[in-house]
Amino acid sequence: MNALKIALLVAVAVLLLVVVVDRMREPAQMQQVHKSLERMAEATRAQTEELRNLRQVLEARPAAAGPAVASSAPAAAVVANDPARDGNPRLGANFLLPYDRSWHHREWIGGNIKTIAASPKGLNPLTENSAESSAVYGLCNDSLCDRPPTSPEQWMEGLAESVVISDDYQTYTFRIRPGVRWHRPVVCAGKPEFAWLDKDVELTSADFKFTIDLIQDATVDCPQIKVYYEDLAGASCPDASTLVLKWKRPIFTSLSFSMGLQPTPRHIYGRNRDGSPIPPEQVGVVFNKHWFDELRGVCGVGSYILESFEPDKVMAFRRNPAYWGATLHFERLEWVMDLKRPDPQLVAFKNGQIHSHGLSPLQYKSEVLDRKEPRFAAADPANPKAGRAGELGWEKVKGLSFRYLGWNMRKPPFDDKRVRQAMSWCFPKERVIRDVFFGLGCPVSSDVHPDSQYCNRALKPYGFDLARAKALLAEAGWSDSDGDGVLDKLIEGKRVPLRFTIKYGANNPEADNMLAVYRNELKSVGVAMTNTPFEWKELLRIFEDKDFEAIVGGWQMDWDIDYFQLWHSSQANLAKSSNHCGFANKRVDELAEKLRLTFDTQARIAIAQEIQAIIHDEQPYTFLWSGEGIFVWQNRAPAGSTEKDRWLDGVTKGLDTLHPLVNRSRLFWHFAR
């Protein structure tokens, strides 16, 4: 009887639970229905727009075969006919490479690709300063000019059809591409209160001027961008398709900040929620907390339109049917944001929920080299492309960063060039890359990547040669006079042993291992090194106070090189400067200043290579390697895309034809733009 009562009670409880949960789910279901309806309406509208777009193009060019299928032949012809348009900056004429559509195949379009991303905190185009929000604007907006993915050190047409630089590199005159239209923001679509936004708005030069005005407005909260445009005298737009940027002085960095300028939608950020214009003196302050940001909207002119954004869950983008240029081939991109730790990320990739991902050195070791995941093809030292064959593809890719050991040149023993050189000869670079990083690293001899056009390849790298190190130390006056196994030297009447402490970031097992190897090598030449790890915050203080003898550091490299920040002597004793080793060399100072004023590519390469030669000889750093990563992808096509081999074809083409240093993370590596 008791058992029956209990069973009855449980049954009633379960029934109640089902009823309650059923009621609770109803609103969410209704909301979903509404959303689906909105999305359908939006898709219909987008298709109509694409049709209209195609019709317009066809009407404009009755003889041409089609709008986006245009082959690369005409572009190539222009380059061949016009050697001046080689993408390298010069005065008085348009030098931009023609826009390249050759990689785009209209019939390949389709598919919904999912990748992992971090959730952007906000989506304001200027006041947000995170990598995540710039990635969003990389997809949804365009800049005046682009770096072509096959040769990112040159410049190509973008929203500007041409640029003419005059007035000794102080005035840039851009011709804006006609017929480019702003997205209709999805967050506002279909809402009666935003009916005023439901129209086509064409991009004009005033949108660029609007951006510059915002950046230069003291009340706009974008200190990180403001610094770059401090030397800008101002922007003007003589007509709707002409933009003139005037700089106060000719400095090379102004080039990329001019060319890389993105427009801000004046028809949204210049208006109140009800569509009325904001008084000009209030635009700056209102901009910091604009209604459009509260709606989490993004409006650009780029190849993808933000479709939805749920913070920490998912962000989805839809291909822009009205895009003026060539888009990626995916119909939809989805950024998955709820996977935040390496382990769950890897599992999600293996389960097919994510289409492309990156592996850490340890994951690479266990999953690929130790074959824990049999669906990855085995590594083959003879064939760097062996990883493409498996059910899950993998390939090693390069990155634009490097690591170094920095020597404090302000005090002995590292004030002596020979000691620093000896330290470099003692570092078994190849062995550490092989054993500690499982081959993920490309040895470098300077702060420029070997694949960069600026790299001085004539420099003879410091190999691993203990005999040479010993000889150099002996030459510098270091000998083991007391027989304790550690070299010493008489400095200002005192016997000083060659002992030092190297500082580095904690919680980094690879650095621990690397330094353990190095310490053993140093010991065999009579140098005693102690390694001490520090928490990140404390390490920053150490850099700030230059409070070290030796330190492990790393820098991110850039396409445009600048030697001022790291190596100019004026930076050596400045608080918070980046020249923390105290490097000072008159010739480098001269050259670094000259480099900032030189725009001609060949001249810049010559200067950069001379600086590298001096730094190579001085060895303020022992340059270690540039980071490499393992990128992995599903070797089966994402749902809804066209045939499998086309997707794979796209991946391999992306890996093969791009400049080796172009970032392949997320999906930019697939037909990267």
Partner 1 sequence: MLRYILSRLLLMIPTFLGILIINFAVLRLESDPLDAEAGMGGAKGGEGVSAERKASAGTKRYENLIDRRRRAGNDLPALVNLRGFLTKEDLVERLRRAAPGSGLKDSQRNQIEKETWQLGAPAVRPLAEVLADPALADLHGPASEAFSLCAYTTLYQADLENLGADRINAIRARNDRLQKQVIVYEPAARGTRVTDPQAEAKRAAMAELAAQGDYARDRRWSAILLDTGFSTFVGRLFTGNLYSETKKRYVFELIAERWQVTFWLNITAVALAWLVAIPLGIRSARRQGTLEDKTTTNVLFLLWSLPSFFVGTMLLHLFCTAHTGQPLFPNRGLSSEDSLWYSTPGYLLDVLWHAFLPLVTLTYASFTSLSRYMRGNLLGELHADYARTARAKGCDGDRVVYGHCLRNSMITMITLAAGLLSELFAGALIVEMIFSINGLGWLLLDAAIQRDAPLVMGATVIQVSLLLVGILIADLLYGVADPRLRSRYG
Whether 645 contacts 635, CB under 8 Å = no
Which one, 94 or 264, has the nearer CB to partner 1?
264
351 binds partner 1 (CB under 8 A): yes
Binding part of the chain for partner 1, among 27-35, 65-73, 450-458, 525-533 by CB under 8 A, reads 27-35
Binding part of the chain for partner 1, among 37-45, 419-427, 516-524, 564-572 by CB under 8 A, reads 564-572
Binding part of the chain for partner 1, among 226-234, 447-455, 511-519, 632-640 by CB under 8 A, reads 226-234
274 binds partner 1 (CB under 8 A): no
For tokens 């920040």, the residue is: 565
5 binds partner 1 (CB under 8 A): no
Distance separating alpha carbons of residues 23 and 525, to the nearest angstrom? 77
Could you give the residue ranges of the DSSP H alpha helices within 61-141? 73-81, 131-140
What would the 3-class secondary structure string for 373-420 be?
CCCECCCCCCCCCHHHHCCEEEEEEEEEEEEEEEECCCCCCCCCHHHH
313 binds partner 1 (CB under 8 A): yes
Region 353-382 residues binding partner 1, contact defined as CB under 8 A: 353, 373-375
Q: Give the long-range contacts of residues 368-374, CB within 8 A, separation 24 or more.
A: 368/394, 368/630, 369/438
Distance separating alpha carbons of residues 111 and 639, to the nearest angstrom? 6
Which one, 403 or 449, has the nearer CB to partner 1?
403
The correct pick among 5, 92, 575, 586 for binding partner 1 (CB under 8 A) is 575
249 binds partner 1 (CB under 8 A): no
Region 194-223 residues binding partner 1, contact defined as CB under 8 A: 218-219, 221-223
Name 387's Cβ contacts closer than 8 Å, sequence gap at least 6.
Answer: 368, 376, 377, 379, 393, 394, 395, 396
What pairing do the DSSP bridges indicate for beta strands 528-534 and 499-505?
parallel
> x/- site string to partner 1, residues 52 to 91, per CB under 8 A?
----------------------------------------
The correct pick among 281, 370, 492, 645 for binding partner 1 (CB under 8 A) is 281
17 CB neighbour count, 10 Å cutoff: 10
Closest approach of partner 1 to the CB of residue 436, in Å: 21
36 binds partner 1 (CB under 8 A): no
Closest approach of partner 1 to the CB of residue 294, in Å: 8
DSSP 198-246: -S--B--HHHHHHHHHHHH-TTS--HHHHGGGTTEEEEEEEETTEEEEE
Closest approach of partner 1 to the CB of residue 498, in Å: 26
Closest approach of partner 1 to the CB of residue 655, in Å: 25
272 binds partner 1 (CB under 8 A): no
Biggest alpha carbon distance in the chain? 101
Closest approach of partner 1 to the CB of residue 121, in Å: 6
CA torsion, ordered 112, 117, 123, 124, to nearest 10 deg:
-120
Q: How many residues bind partner 1 (CB under 8 A)?
A: 69
Closest approach of partner 1 to the CB of residue 186, in Å: 19
The correct pick among 1, 3, 4, 28 for binding partner 1 (CB under 8 A) is 28
Which one, 565 or 657, has the nearer CB to partner 1?
565
576 binds partner 1 (CB under 8 A): yes
Sheet strands (E) in 284-374: 304-310, 314-319, 332-336, 356-359
Instruction: Report in angstroms the alpha-carbon separations of 437 from 172, 223, 372, 552.
Output: 46, 38, 18, 16
Closest approach of partner 1 to the CB of residue 75, in Å: 37
CA torsion, ordered 613, 462, 580, 260, to nearest 10 deg:
60
DSSP 269-308: HTB-TTSPBPPGGGHHHHHHT-HHHHTT----SSSEEEEE
Contact residues for partner 1 (CB under 8 A)? 17-18, 21-22, 25, 28-29, 32, 121-122, 218-219, 221-224, 226-227, 230, 279, 281-282, 285-286, 289, 293, 311-313, 338-341, 343-344, 347-348, 350-353, 373-375, 539-547, 553-556, 562, 564-565, 568, 570-571, 574-578, 580
